Amino acid sequence: MTNNKMLVNEKQRSLGNFLVGRLLPFKEKRQVGPFTFIDHMGPSPIGEGRFLDIDQHPHIGLSTLTYLFEGEIEHKDSIGTKKVITPGDVGFMTAGKAITHSERTPQNLRNQETLLHGYQIWVALPKELEEMDPKFDFYTSDSLPQWKKDGLTIKLVAGNAFGKSAPLQGFSPLFMVDIKADSSGTLHLKDQLKGEVAFVIVNGSITEYGNKIGAGQMMISKTNEACRVELEEGTRLLLFGGEQLPEERFLLWNFVSSNKDKLKQAKSAWEEKMFPTIEGDDSYIPFPTTRF
């Protein structure tokens, strides 16, 4: 690997009935651009006794981005949102000063066998927006820019890349791109992206300067100059990144902030049941007592 690259392997962790692979953060790298957390969900079978049921839990100081390849997730939150996210859609929940939400297998899928596969991503908010009012934005798959070039199908999920702009811009300069190799090909990134970039290999493999990177791995580059990767046929990868935020971000469970005191205040507020709640939902995930 060239000097400005870093290779990361997914670390498995349990999430109720499911195993997820955590790619970010890790000891040597806490963020890529404004992205501060990336979990790979599945592919996991959904069926009797194996539904996704993540009870009410809180967030501050970030936006969550949910992007699926297979399956569906019903999102409900404390500002009244109820939305089913399907493959290719983008659910973008901005916590700001405080929000509570749940994620579940929709009722209509609870009498059949399906698969759930996708990514849950956190994007840190700029310091001046950490206390903004919460909101939820939703973009259907067909509203996102998609095109074919050099044997690749490219979809711009968020931000700006390859001279195009997605309807979801976020709150600081960023990008997220979904790329599928319909045939073996070369991806040229010079002058196509701005900022740090992470290559997340969903399936298949890529080759960069003779180094092969496979599914379940993430390659991080601090720069995008003269960046070129070879994709084998059938490969799917996600590109994440953008410009770094000027201040360090700290994480405590589901909370992100540039101020450690705000993390402690959020912890106390959740334990004292002072967060807003989802109407008609009395579920509650306690603050973890063990290291997370």
In a domain, 282, yes or no: no
Nearest 5°: phi and psi at 108? -70, -10
Is 256:249 a contact under the CB 8 Å cutoff? yes
In a domain, 274, yes or no: no
The pLDDT tens digits for 178-196 are 999 999 989 988 889 999 8
DSSP annotation of 186: E
In a domain, 260, yes or no: no
The pLDDT tens digits for 123-134 are 999 999 999 999
Q: Which two tokens stand for residue 234?
A: 């059938």
In a domain, 62, yes or no: yes
Reduced DSSP (H G I as helix, E B as strand, rest coil) percent helix, strand, coil of the chain, to 5? 5, 50, 40
Where in the sequence is the domain holding 147, given as residue range(s)?
Answer: 5-242
Is 159:168 a contact under the CB 8 Å cutoff? yes
In a domain, 261, yes or no: no
The pLDDT tens digits for 62-94 are 999 999 999 999 999 999 999 999 999 999 999
The pLDDT tens digits for 246-273 are 999 999 999 999 999 999 999 999 999 9
In a domain, 254, yes or no: no
User: Is the pLDDT reported for residue 290 higher than 80?
Assistant: no
Q: Please state, in angstroms and as integers, the Cα–Cα distance from residue 98 to each residue in 59, 211, 249, following that order.
A: 6, 43, 17
In a domain, 202, yes or no: yes
Number of compact structural domains in the chain: 1
Three-class HEC string of 69-125: EECCEEEEECCCCEEEECCCCEEEEECCCCEEEEEECCHHHCCCCEEEEEEEEEEEC
In a domain, 281, yes or no: no
Counting residues of the chain whose pLDDT is more than 90, the rounded percentage is: 72
Measured between alpha carbons, how far is 116 from 73 in angstroms, rounded to an integer?
9
Measured between alpha carbons, how far is 222 from 255 in angstroms, rounded to an integer?
26
For the segment 107-123, the average pLDDT, to the nearest whole number, is 94
Q: What is the CATH number of the domain that holds 17?
A: 2.60.120.10
